[in-house]
Structure 1
């Protein structure tokens, strides 16, 4: 990477870390800290934990499309401003209802697609994977940091402090976006952002719908866990400020488990390990649903859960990227993100409602039962080889599209071709044998 690309990667990664920390810090503390509100109920806690997911799911694709029309930075700055507003509304809330309003506003700052598109705009194709990898690592890092810091901040300053710091972090992101992230040539690429005319086809894609439902259940389960686990830890006489002493070793152990599973995969994503991830999470919830469990039992269950969660969270996006048709990765990832955030909302609602009507153990049991449906879905996912995506430009019109596609398919290493005559863009899915010189010869002929 050159200096400009490195600057863009680090700045955008910082924006992601600061913003996602704000969302994640609330998860391990809200179920306990919210008990001080006069209208407290498990259902309202569930809505508060998962509420941001509803607006994130609804606005993820539209805001990505808006960034094509208005520009990346204006949309990102707007999203950060809305997110900060929601944070300050939640910080000043004197009831659960107002806190839920704040969380829904936080979710309305749905800028993930615009950030990824900006990262694409400011990086060369040869370095793009590195830039996106740095941002991806930052997202994972922000989650682990937030889960540890959240209980410590909440113990000292309460939920007001957690949400207030979240709002300040969002504001600190704005100058990074405005002045540190370089301006790039805006690319309206079907492999980067969602395209409206592709939505229907990809929603019903035989493989992609399985991954979309899978990530929805994945995030439903982690939200369900964080509605219930802080209360479970209270049963062991653990004050909120000591919860990090559980989360830190649990996350560390689960990372070791993730490394072991990644080593077994050997650069692929075998179905057997996807099934293993689901079984680990289901087994963890089944263990947590049993009555009279000990502290060690709970800790072991949560390690199993995060081992499975980490593996699936890391590998599902790669599968979507491999399966999505050439030129349609942006739409596929937009749909994937929408299902992901809707899962967070669903997990909060189900967890809160079940606890309100029945009990915490039943909520854990429903999480375990949902993995049976999930296993049925995941068994239908086909193993996909890792592919590379290439975008080229060429002069063509509707009259010769079919002949150019046929010639490109004969180029070594080309797996799939999509041509867009409106912007003269050529989208290719290729493997390691791809001959870029021959592809350019075809387009220049």
Structure 2
């Protein structure tokens, strides 16, 4: 096996920087409305709590419905044209929402924003641009950029809305989309190839496996519940801040303090989960903390109590955002990680959509406290579901590039050789991709033996050619 090369090629560095920035600015635009729409919705004709919730979450519906079609289109038409088309839809939706005078106009704008569902196409382009040896690190960079975008959105959204009005949030989002188009064409290099990647994109043959395993479904339901709760409570959280005496123009500073402390509190817990192999325990702890914080937020609160409950919520939220994808990667069968992640992402977007609707409905029918109580009850059900989950085995995915000389008639033997290596738990060899997908236990992996399998096959191929 080729040794992992730590240094990025110049083209890879450009691709990772450009696409991570593109992904992050797009998510920044989607998230900025989250802490402000409920507060400023009175300016919109026809506004009700239910419709505000719908406006918050409706982007998730169009994202969930269209992300797979956009991914398929990118395989056929090219990554960059499809991503550019998605960004133009996002830009159009932002302009529609910025000019809207009614809540219906904002809902339409958010639908259009979500219809630019290019997340799968961006990830596929990143896979096209990077070698197997550095792809995991490249994907991790994208994940980190999303977390930074969310934290920034919680600060920028309230500042823009307080200074220039709600429409400014959407105009700024339109500006981000336009900047994204420039980044796409000027910074991201042309893709040298356009292939399906089982570690990134959805593969239809693997859908049955991804949908039929209870452990993967538990994680899909977890990200569904997490984003449902997040979207639902932001129908009510901004009003809790006002009740605690925090003026709207100070909300950004409040969220900044919460986010910084939440990140600091989350990091040691993630390290504990990974290094001490306590994934399930940390997951249950986080779900319990979210449920507890929701119960606390349901009552009448002073400033410091509110700050404390929000801090607990976001520590737990960030912990789950980091550990759930890691658990999914460990549990997904060899060669099915991309498909499992596609189902997972769809579940996340559906959760965001239903969360907005549920939060708006509860607030309209029974008031702000009902939003937190309803979400706390969901948290209890979620906790009960996850208690029965077996702790995930700490396996990681490896993708091995095979030589062109690996003939199909020898691949079955090659799979057997891989499987005999200590620490290799699962193997899938895909002849048409010239790749082998492995699931390995790094603590047990005999790296030298794995290298010898590849080198022995390469030597035999060279002899056959001679």
Partner in structure 2 of residue 387 of structure 1? 396
- Give matches, 1:28-177, under 5 Å: 28-177=35-184
**Pair 1:415–1:442, CA change in 2 (3 A):** farther
Q: Is the 8 A contact 1:389 1:427 kept in 2?
A: yes
Q: 1:400 offset after TM fit, Å?
A: 6.2
Q: 1:402 offset after TM fit, Å?
A: 4.5
CA distance in 2, matches of 1:436, 1:94: 64
- Give matches, 1:35-434, under 5 Å: 35-184=42-191, 185-267=193-275, 268-290=277-299, 292-379=300-387, 380-393=389-402, 395-397=406-408, 402-432=412-442, 433=445, 434=447
Q: Is the 8 A contact 2:45 2:102 kept in 1?
A: yes
Q: 1:78 offset after TM fit, Å?
A: 1.1
SS at match of 2:190: coil
- Are residues 1:441 and 2:448 paired? no
**Pair 1:173–1:57, CA change in 2 (3 A):** same
Q: 1:167 offset after TM fit, Å?
A: 1.0
Query: Which moved further from structure 2: 64-73 or 277-286?
Result: 64-73
Q: 1:424 offset after TM fit, Å?
A: 4.3
**Aligned residues between the structures:** 443
SS at match of 1:127: helix
SS at match of 2:398: strand
Q: 1:272 offset after TM fit, Å?
A: 1.1
CA distance in 1, matches of 2:429, 2:338: 15
SS at match of 1:187: coil
CA distance in 2, matches of 1:330, 1:264: 26
Q: 1:274 offset after TM fit, Å?
A: 0.7
CA distance in 2, matches of 1:441, 1:366: 60
SS at match of 2:246: coil
CA distance in 1, matches of 2:454, 2:167: 57
Partner in structure 1 of residue 18 of structure 2? 11
Q: 1:133 offset after TM fit, Å?
A: 2.3
Q: 1:262 offset after TM fit, Å?
A: 2.4
Unaligned runs of at least 5 residues, structure 1: none
Q: Is the 8 A contact 1:61 1:335 kept in 2?
A: no
SS at match of 2:394: coil
Q: Is the 8 A contact 1:60 1:337 kept in 2?
A: no
Unaligned runs of at least 5 residues, structure 2: 1-7, 462-466
Q: 1:404 offset after TM fit, Å?
A: 3.9
Q: Is the 8 A contact 2:270 2:322 kept in 1?
A: no
Q: TM-score, normalised by structure 1?
A: 0.95
CA distance in 2, matches of 1:348, 1:196: 30
Q: Is the 8 A contact 1:210 1:381 kept in 2?
A: no
Q: Is the 8 A contact 1:411 1:439 kept in 2?
A: no
Q: 1:25 offset after TM fit, Å?
A: 0.6
Query: Which moved further from structure 2: 327-336 or 1-10?
Result: 1-10
Q: TM-score, normalised by structure 2?
A: 0.91
Deviation readout 1:158-183 (Å, 9 max, x if unpaired): 12111111011111111211121112
CA distance in 2, matches of 1:255, 1:340: 21
Deviation readout 1:156-215 (Å, 9 max, x if unpaired): 221211111101111111121112111232232211210122223211212110000000
SS at match of 2:401: strand
SS at match of 2:165: helix
> RMSD value over aligned CA atoms?
1.8
Query: Which moved further from structure 2: 123-132 or 208-217?
Result: 123-132
CA distance in 2, matches of 1:372, 1:146: 29
CA distance in 1, matches of 2:390, 2:106: 39
Deviation readout 1:337-357 (Å, 9 max, x if unpaired): 000111111110100011111
